[in-house]
Amino acid sequence: MSNKKEKPLIKVENLQRCFRTGEVETLALKKADFSIFPGEFVAIMGPSGSGKSTLMHIIGFLDKATKGKYVFKGKNVNKLSEDELADLRNQAVGFIFQSFNLLPRTTVFENVRLPLMYSKKTNSKQKKLAEEAIKSVSLLHRRDYMSNQLSGGEKQRVAIARALVNEPDIILADEPTGNLDSKSGGQIMKILQDLNEKGKTIIMVTHEQYTAEHARRIINIRDGSVFKDTRIKQRRIKDGQDLIK
């Protein structure tokens, strides 16, 4: 749980994003105001077209707001250069995507190690961090498998290990169970809950209420605006079964 005496890790104020096609303007994000503190597990929830993916792209430094303010660790993101944004994407955020985004004919180890290739860490340090990340998702026995030899649930666990390997400030998960069956999805949510228990800050985008309830807080978005922000009784997973905590 976060300590509100801490400074927020993320603070957005009146965040807006407008897309222009010719003379047509589309306001994908109309207004977003909230703070996220270190150690929180937040679900951003809304139907397709609500603006949640646009918001995630801005939070993850993949896009910039048209108006409003985004402060990350005390820095005004709007004023950062493209190079500074690229550094933040690589160092501060670990991404988990619905479609996994793994290199298909590449081993689990090399997929997990990939983000470190752009760092200044030594080869031995890179190998150690990759091994630790793979171990954290219980996949050491698949270390040298090609990613296209894995099940969907295993692929997502590799994606989580890859997201962890740079020891980021936040993990951004975009519909992390969207391509999985219920059992594999439950395993992924348990891993995310366990990571949060260890202090990781997790922001998850989902359109499913059931998935959102595995977080500790839900920010609801509708028609490009935040209309509800609530703390909830977290749906806990233990031994394959959900428990309300």
Which among 34, 44, 27, 40 has a CA at the least distance from the CA of 12?
Answer: 34
Question: Topology of domain 39-50+85-244, per CATH?
Answer: Rossmann fold (3.40.50)
Q: Contact 133/158 with Cβ under 8 angstroms?
A: no
- Residue 34 has, within 13 A of its CA and on its CB side, a CA count of 22
Listed residue (51, 72, 50, 69) closest to 60, CA to CA: 72
Domain edges within the chain: 39-50+85-244
Position 136: which residue type?
A: S
Closest to 10 (Cα-Cα) out of 66, 67, 64, 69: 69
Question: pTM higher than 0.75, yes or no?
Answer: yes
* pLDDT tens sequence for the chain (245 residues): 445 567 999 999 999 999 998 889 999 999 999 999 999 999 999 998 899 999 999 999 999 999 999 999 999 999 999 999 998 998 899 999 989 999 999 999 999 999 998 788 899 999 999 999 999 999 999 999 999 999 999 999 999 999 999 999 999 999 999 989 989 999 999 999 999 999 999 999 999 899 999 999 999 999 999 999 999 988 887 755 565 44
* Under 8 Å between Cβ of 144 and 107: yes
